[in-house]
């Protein structure tokens, strides 16, 4: 049986992580996978997470199963954080999932149950796993225009024109904030225009919320998806706790489905959980719940998240300044203007390999750089390397 399997190439981000680990050079620089690093180059455990874990260790007296949907207190807290007052709670069906990827997978599983012939509209470009999961599930895919490489911003007219082609049997994947891989986000007016188009065509938005707090702050980063939630009859939101709470390996996530048929949808999501992995992981979810429901922990988490965002924005500015000074040109100013962890360098695959081979600087093959992986000390070396490969 197993010898019939054919070799599989890893996803480009996972392949890059493997190549980085295998590189023996001590001064190699990882600007690939999207994780935040501090000035010492470490991905820290957030203070509020440590405090919540310490409390959990003291007070938790059982590791018995939670419900198949996850802990209701977690789902309530994450729904509140994400949707605020945008919709009444009885319109939301939520279940916990293993990370944001688990939520995207469950969302598309749910779509396939409802409409096996659904088309999934994916922004061009997008996180590679969106297309990979839709493809694995056998769902038809279509790209919609998103990024204008010339202006290095969102191609809003192109996007809206492409979304006009959607219909009631379609799903549209949207990035809530900190677009991965471009760092170019929709403006408030664009969200309103997307809501108007989807309301008219009847397509279902699936909003991927993986970087809440890393763009312009928690409330601002959730504003676009809340606008959709207030306007549209149905929506799916895939929420990740990986970056927002620094809980990457704990796999804290949830899917929120906004619908008039919440009880039925919840039942379907519960069954999907059951058949996929039974009970969703609880540790990270419980930590998130403790943080969001304890005023002091929540304040501290918010401060630390704000500081992380400010630092990434400062690193963006410092890198853009350093490149301006060394190149005498403004062609890198988009790095300072974009938001979140990623920007596209506009590098060819050959330039990306030269960057890796000659300078030990790892970015994804499409030229995506994780600016949250930089440190202040690395900026001169990275900017020289970028200019050396001809950017
Ligand atoms: C990324 O895009 O680097 C992150 O979302 C991590 C991942 O799972 O790909």
339-354 tens-digit pLDDT: 999 999 999 999 999 9
Give, using CA atoms, the residue closest to atom 6 of ligand 1. 34
Residues 129 and 199 in one domain: yes
- Show the CA angle centred on residue 282, arms to residues 281 and 286, nearest 5°: 150
pLDDT at 366: 95
Closest ligand 1 atom to residue 11 Cα is: 9
Instruction: Indicate whether 82 belongs to any domain.
Output: yes
Average pLDDT score over residue span 109-138: 98
Residues 383 and 356 in one domain: yes
Closest CA to 388 of 327, 310, 303: 327
Dist. CA 38–CA 221, nearest whole Å: 22
Residue 156 among the catalytic residues = no
Question: Distance of alpha carbon 146 from its chain centroid, rounded?
Answer: 16
Q: The domain containing residue 183 runs over which residues?
A: 65-293
Give, using CA atoms, the residue closest to atom 1 of ligand 1. 34
- Please say which residue of 258, 293, 328 terminates a domain: 293
Residues 324 and 376 in one domain: yes
pLDDT at 218: 98
The CATH number assigned to the domain holding 31 equals 3.90.1150.10
In angstroms, what is the span from residue 180 Cα to ligand 1's centroid?
Answer: 9
Please state whether beta strands 235-240 and 204-209 pair in parallel, antiparallel, or not at all (unpaired).
parallel
Binning pLDDT at 50, 70 and 90, where does residue 189 land?
very high
Residues 319 and 380 in one domain: yes
Average pLDDT score over residue span 129-158: 98
Binning pLDDT at 50, 70 and 90, where does residue 127 land?
very high
Ligand 1 neighbours, Cβ below 6 Å, are 13, 33-34, 127, 180, 210
Average pLDDT score over residue span 290-310: 98
Our count of domains for the chain comes to: 2
If you average pLDDT over every residue of the chain, what do you get? 97
In angstroms, what is the span from residue 91 Cα to ligand 1's centroid?
Answer: 30
Binning pLDDT at 50, 70 and 90, where does residue 213 land?
very high
pLDDT at 262: 98
pLDDT digits (tens, 9 = 90+) for 149-176: 999 999 999 999 999 999 999 999 999 9
pTM of the model: 0.97
Alpha helices in 232-378 (DSSP H): 262-276, 283-293, 295-327, 334-337, 349-359
pLDDT at 173: 99
pLDDT digits (tens, 9 = 90+) for 219-232: 999 999 999 999 99
Residues 78 and 105 in one domain: yes
- Show the CA angle centred on residue 194, arms to residues 192 and 200, nearest 5°: 105
Residues 120 and 37 in one domain: no
């Amino acid at each position: 049986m197993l010898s019939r399997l054919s070799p599989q190439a890893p996803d480009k981000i996972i392949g890059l992580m493997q190549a980085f680990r295998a590189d023996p050079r001590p001064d190699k620089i990882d600007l690939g996978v999207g994780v935040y690093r501090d000035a010492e180059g470490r991905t820290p455990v957030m203070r509020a997470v440590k405090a919540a874990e310490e409390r959990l260790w003291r007070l938790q007296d059982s590791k018995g199963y939670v419900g198949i949907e996850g802990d209701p207190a977690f789902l309530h807290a994450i729904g509140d954080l994400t949707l605020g007052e945008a919709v009444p709670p009885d319109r939301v069906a939520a279940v916990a999932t293993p990370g944001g990827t688990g939520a995207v997978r469950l969302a598309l599983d749910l779509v396939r149950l409802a409409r096996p012939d659904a088309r999934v509209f994916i922004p061009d470009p997008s996180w590679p796993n969106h297309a990979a999961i839709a493809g694995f599930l056998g769902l038809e895919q279509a790209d919609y225009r998103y990024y204008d490489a010339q202006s290095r911003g969102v191609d809003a007219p192109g996007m809206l024109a492409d979304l006009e082609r959607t219909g009631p049997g379609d799903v549209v994947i949207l990035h809530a904030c900190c677009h991965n891989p471009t760092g170019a986000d929709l403006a408030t007016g664009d969200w309103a225009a997307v809501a108007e188009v989807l309301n008219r065509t009847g397509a279902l938005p699936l909003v991927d919320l993986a970087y809440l707090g890393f763009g312009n702050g928690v409330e601002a980063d959730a504003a676009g998806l809340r606008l959709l939630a207030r306007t549209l009859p149905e929506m799916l939101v895939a929420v990740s706790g990986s970056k927002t709470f620094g809980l990457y390996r704990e796999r804290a996530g949830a899917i929120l489905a906004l619908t008039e048929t919440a009880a039925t949808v919840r039942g379907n999501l519960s069954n999907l959980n059951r058949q996929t992995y039974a009970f969703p992981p609880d540790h990270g979810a419980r930590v998130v719940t403790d943080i969001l429901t304890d005023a002091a922990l929540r304040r501290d988490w918010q401060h630390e998240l704000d500081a992380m965002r400010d630092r990434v924005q400062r690193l963006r500015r410092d890198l853009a300044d350093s490149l301006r000074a060394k190149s005498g040109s403004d062609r890198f100013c988009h790095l300072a203007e974009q938001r979140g962890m990623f920007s596209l360098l506009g590098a060819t695959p050959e330039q990306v390999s030269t960057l890796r081979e000659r300078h030990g600087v790892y970015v994804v093959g499409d030229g995506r750089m994780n600016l949250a992986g930089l440190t202040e000390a690395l900026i001169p070396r990275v900017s020289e390397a970028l200019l050396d490969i001809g950017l």
